[in-house]
Chain A
Amino acid sequence: MATGALHPIEVRVLGALKDGGWVDFDSLLSGGLLPDQVRRSIEWLLSKGFIDVEQNTLAKLVLLIPTAPELLLLRRLKEAGRPVPLSDLKKDFKSQDEFSAALGRARESSWIKVESSAVGSFVSILDADGAAKLERLLAHLARGAEEDALPEELRPLLPDLIKRGIVQKTEEKSTRVRITRDGLAALEAAEGGRVERLTPDLLATGRWRGKELRPIDVRAPAPRFYPGRRHPVNEFIEEVKEAYISMGFTEIEGAAIQPALWNFDALFTPQDHPGRELQDTFYLMSMEDDSIKREGVVDRIASTHEDGWRTGSRGWQYRWSTEEARRLVLRTHNTVLTVRALESEKEDLRVFALGKVYRNESLDYKHLAEFHQMDGAIMGDGLNTRHLMGFLTGFYRKLGMSEVKLWPSYFPYTEPSLQVVGYSDLAKDWIELGGSGVFRPEVTWPLGVKKPVLAWGLGIERLILLRLGLDDLRVLYDNDLGWLRRRATTSIAGSQTLQG
């Protein structure tokens, strides 16, 4: 007989039947097995001929209401020992319906009679023992008697009680099982030569020799598990930082809240520039940096705005306001950090700043109010536009762009100003990457910097969308746990172009 391997649950079920007698289904559950598990193994074991199964149906009667209203009525009349006015009896019942039913049944069975007189209707007893059968039946049911055990003469009363909802009849199926001879043999085989797992005891005693591990169903599904992991945006940021660092750049950092002086004025952005307005930039209301005074570097910046100071520029030709420069903004770009680095560091620089920037935007598929930028700057003798192009080409090659083009553009703080577009091998199209240029003398001279400075401000989110094959920026920050858990890591970091 082809039995196949016994599942451990089957072994446990057979084990419980070892003694050979009939065993109830319920007693098989006591070993910690679930009803489904037992039910399934019974099916398997039966099909293998290892057990006999017997199924019985048992009718069960449950008394839902302890007594019938007509009995209540009869009892009340017996207690009174004389005819009782109809209206007095009514008070003992929950409802008119119940009373009417009790009265009706008692009259039908000729237990009582109702007589009308000048002073009202009276109820009196006709047959004091008429209800004896019903009382006995209810007493049997209250003790939990089964239908078969009821005395013959009482049984005809049952259907009416069931119909009236006083008694409930349920059918209970019971299953009992018994081990067969083949079953006993299979059990012995399973317990003797095979083990479920290697226990420390088996290993220590050497008893593992001669035992076999029970073969398992290697095709069966395993439970799902979600490992912890980083957010895809941060995974990509790591990659960008590594690209920068491999090219000799030092990471710099700084506050998100910046005085307008550094976010705008130091970058030669005139104070009435539309980009500085509330509708584009987040300002912290009723707060300012009152440490800013028109002296030293601040004065040089201010004078450059007004008339060009000593830079050779004609400047923006307006009266510069200290108040405006003291206002606090959420940085609109990270070039605020690179320019502050220029102010404090006079040695040749090669820096990048990567972090969030903030713009007062309504959110849609291509705009966010908070996003990341990876801005950088190089200061050094002899640097020029060609080096800017060279850096950007090399940098983006590391990030998976085979070609980079620079187109003329405009920023108040660079000359020339060049827009960066790159050819994405993934999208098979040119996409905008950011802005770049050579800092104007109006930016560098007030900081005391005379060497050329190449600078750029580049977006990150669009590159991530490309990598992930998405087209809506908002998706990146929805924090959909299903996506964060199940997305493939290679979608961010698997492409061979990443290795540069």
Chain B
Amino acid sequence: MPVVKLYKDRLVKLVGGEKRDVLQRLPYIGLDIEGEESDSIRVEYSPNRPDFSTDYGIARALRGILEVEVGLPRYEASSSGIAVLVDRRLANVRPFIACAVAKGLRLDDETVRQLISMQEDLHNGLGRRRRVAAIGLHDLDAVVPPINYEGVPPSFSFTPLGGKNPMTIAEILEGTETGRRYSSVLPDSRLYPILRDSKKTVLSFPPIINGNETKVSTSTKNLFIDVTSTDKRVGADVLAIIATTLADAGASLQTVEIKYFSSSEATPDLSPSSMPLDLPLIRSVTGLDLAESEISSCLRRSRLEPSGTTVTFPRYRIDLLHPVDLAEETALGYGIDKIKPVYPASDRPGEFSRQGKRLEKISDLMASSGMVEVISYELVDESSFYKKFERSAEEKVEVGDPRSIDHSILRDSLLPSLLSILSRNIKEEYPQRVFEVGRVYHRVGKKVEERWSLAAMIAHSQASFSEAKMYMESFLRTLANLEVVTSPSIHWSFSDGRCALVEASGRGVGHIGEVKPSVLVAFVLGVSLAGFELDLSNLLPREQLK
């Protein structure tokens, strides 16, 4: 989740309330306090509230909660007279653009830091790492309108932000870090989007990098903002969040005329939206028995504007999808901490699942026979599961892109995990006897089947087939009066001649044996091991175990 750093004094000044109240209410508008220093505080905000990506947006919400200013914040924009002409050939590359002008800014270091951090968060969140939407901020005074949003070939060159010499598009994509990181965002079309003005000054090569000529600094007074996107709605959302933030930072907003081939529109569109006010729904979801006027003032504290049967909400509240969302707004306006809990009584008896109970009994029995229960990971590494046993990994079940190769395949047996555990415990007193009940995964045709398995392993200098069999048989008899037959077999963990197939009522249910010396050596174990693994899903009747 994204994090924003707030300077306490600056925030208190933006809100205009008591310092103590301002800081105390942060968690109650949905901000998680990550860390606090004497002059600043870092908070985590939910990705559905990108308007919280700066202290301006957070101050806006706090002003409502603290009743410094309630109801709908209003934003106006006059026309800048600037036009952006869109090249129709970009329709299959990055078709949409939305722009705004913000004039009369006084940018100090902290405001610039807030804006950069907001841009970063919007790129990663709503912009889906620039794939869906990307933002460019430019010094308007270095731009000579009209502006063209046009397609250029990879040989086109300009001086990118922070660069000294012109580079071609191809060079930027292959030769710079930003270029390499984001080149996959653009379709492979030999046509690249460029934003440049009437004097051919390049503002931006979206979504990769800005031009150097229109760079923003603390001396910038007037901003030109572009948001290019593959989804028009998301582009407009992103622009609205930036524009309203800049307005809160003291700028006056102006619109830009976007001219597509067959249509045109003025951006940003900051007009508020509305949704039905469903009072019974709000009361039933929150459990608060509030009069209409109380709900109204709660919503106004959440910076919404109820009026009759509808509620108007500001353009940047892109998270409001359904009238039920007003329930949370009401609860926040009311104060979550003031809501009184009620225990939801029930006259039903609770119930364990049959399978859960069964597996529990099995583990209890194994423990009572003197074995120590272990829990290992289901996601394992190929080496401990296949290479050390010299068995084929053809049937392995892999997961995509694991962060660690130690967790890259789903286990098909519990035995290797038990061996790994014993191998990590060679310093501990022998005899050692361990067991696990867990899920294993088997490839069956094109599908993967999940089964419950029980495995046990005995380690000491005299550990033998016969001891393992004694534990297995006493377990099965105690569990369900089950008698099994063991007949000579082979298995990748056990020595030939000391390995048996375990059968119950003619069905194979597992293997038992003494662990192969080559396997002991592979796991750096210096004592004999004997053990067994039983497929519980096959051993017990269906109704007892699904």
Contact = CB atoms under 8 A, between A and B. Distances in A.
Interface of A: 224, 226-231, 233-234, 238, 241, 244-253, 255-257, 272, 274, 278-279, 282-285, 287, 308, 311-315, 317-318, 328, 330, 350, 354, 356, 358, 360-363, 369-370, 378, 380, 382-387, 389-394, 405-410, 412, 415-419, 438, 440-442, 452, 454, 476-482, 484-485
Nearest to B343: A390
Contact of A384 (B287, B347, B399): B287
Contact of B434 (A279, A415, A441, A481): A481
B381 to A, nearest CB: 12
Interface stretch (B25-33, B68-76, B249-257, B526-534): B25-33
B350 A481 contact: no
Nearest to B321: A313
A285 B400 contact: yes
In the complex, the 6 A-B pairs of residues with the closest C-beta atoms, listed nearest first: A384-B287, A245-B350, A410-B46, A386-B287, A389-B341, A416-B328
A256 B450 contact: yes
Given A230-B373, A234-B373, A250-B351, A384 B400 contact: no
Given A330-B399, A350-B346, 9 more contacts: A229-B367, A283-B399, A315-B321, A360-B399, A387-B341, A389-B341, A394-B343, A405-B337, A416-B331
B104 interface: no
Interface string B57-79: 00000000000000000000000
A308 B322 contact: yes
B428 interface: yes
Interface string B121-140: 00001001000100000000
B538 interface: no
Interface string B319-345: 101111101100110001101111110
Nearest to A368: B377
B31 to A, nearest CB: 9
A323 B31 CA distance: 35
Contact of B287 (A315, A369, A387, A440): A387
B199 interface: no
Contact of B351 (A251, A285, A440): A251
B327 A415 contact: yes
A380 B347 CA distance: 13
B374 A479 contact: yes
B378 A248 contact: no
A384 B343 CA distance: 11
A487 to B, nearest CB: 11
B428 to A, nearest CB: 4
Nearest to B372: A484
A262 to B, nearest CB: 15
A414 B373 CA distance: 38
B303 interface: no
B27 A407 contact: yes
A248 to B, nearest CB: 4
B322 A313 contact: yes
Residue among B288, B347, B353 facing the most chain A CB atoms (10 A cut-off): B353
A245 B375 CA distance: 24
Residue among A287, A385, A406, A409 facing the most chain B CB atoms (10 A cut-off): A385
Interface of B: 27-30, 32, 46-49, 125, 128, 132, 231, 233, 276, 284-288, 319, 321-325, 327-328, 331-332, 336-337, 339-344, 346-353, 355-356, 360, 363-364, 366-379, 397-404, 406-407, 410, 421, 424-425, 428-429, 432-434, 439, 441, 446-448, 450, 546
Residue among B350, B371, B407 facing the most chain A CB atoms (10 A cut-off): B350
B342 A390 contact: yes
A311 B404 CA distance: 42
A254 B527 CA distance: 39
Contacts of B401: 278-279, 283, 360
A278 B339 contact: no
A227 B370 contact: yes
A419 B337 CA distance: 12
A238 B457 CA distance: 24
A383 B351 CA distance: 22
A248 B379 contact: no
27 contacts: A231-B374, A238-B360, A248-B350, A251-B356, A256-B450, A274-B47, A283-B399, A285-B398, A308-B322, A311-B322, A314-B321, A330-B410, A360-B399, A360-B401, A361-B403, A369-B403, A370-B407, A385-B331, A385-B339, A390-B344, A410-B47, A416-B328, A417-B328, A454-B344, A479-B374, A482-B428, A485-B372
Contacts, number: 252
A211 to B, nearest CB: 35
A310 B43 CA distance: 37
Contact of A245 (B47, B342, B351): B351
A385 B376 CA distance: 38
Contacts of A415: 285, 322, 324-325, 327-328
Contact of A452 (B132, B285, B399, B402): B285
A229 B328 CA distance: 47
Nearest to A282: B399
B321 A308 contact: yes
B339 A386 contact: yes
B389 to A, nearest CB: 20
A419 B32 contact: yes
B373 A284 contact: no
Nearest to B428: A481
Contacts of B379: 282, 330, 358, 369-370
Contacts of A317: 233
Nearest to B368: A228
Nearest to B276: A312
B304 to A, nearest CB: 15
A318 B403 contact: no
Contact of B30 (A229, A282, A407): A407
B49 A410 contact: yes
A360 B402 contact: yes
Given A312-B323, A390-B342, A417-B328, A479 B424 contact: yes
A180 to B, nearest CB: 43
A248 B340 contact: no
A363 B285 contact: no
A406 B330 CA distance: 15
A260 B325 CA distance: 25
A409 B46 contact: yes
Contacts of B288: 386
Contacts of A482: 425, 428
Nearest to B324: A415
Contacts of B352: 241, 245, 251
A452 to B, nearest CB: 7
A285 B402 CA distance: 11
A244 B352 CA distance: 9
A230 B424 contact: no
A449 B399 CA distance: 34
A384 B284 contact: yes
A442 B321 contact: yes
Contacts of A383: 344
B425 A481 contact: yes
A75 to B, nearest CB: 52
Given A228-B369, A234-B363, A257-B450, A479 B285 contact: no
B377 A369 contact: yes
A170 B370 CA distance: 51
A385 B322 contact: no
B353 A251 contact: yes
Nearest to A251: B353
Contacts of A476: 375
B360 to A, nearest CB: 7
Given A253-B356, A282-B402, A480-B425, A384 B322 contact: no
A250 B233 CA distance: 44
Nearest to B131: A272
Nearest to B436: A231
A284 B397 contact: yes
Contacts of A389: 339-342
A253 B284 contact: no
Given A378-B344, A480-B425, A370 B377 contact: yes
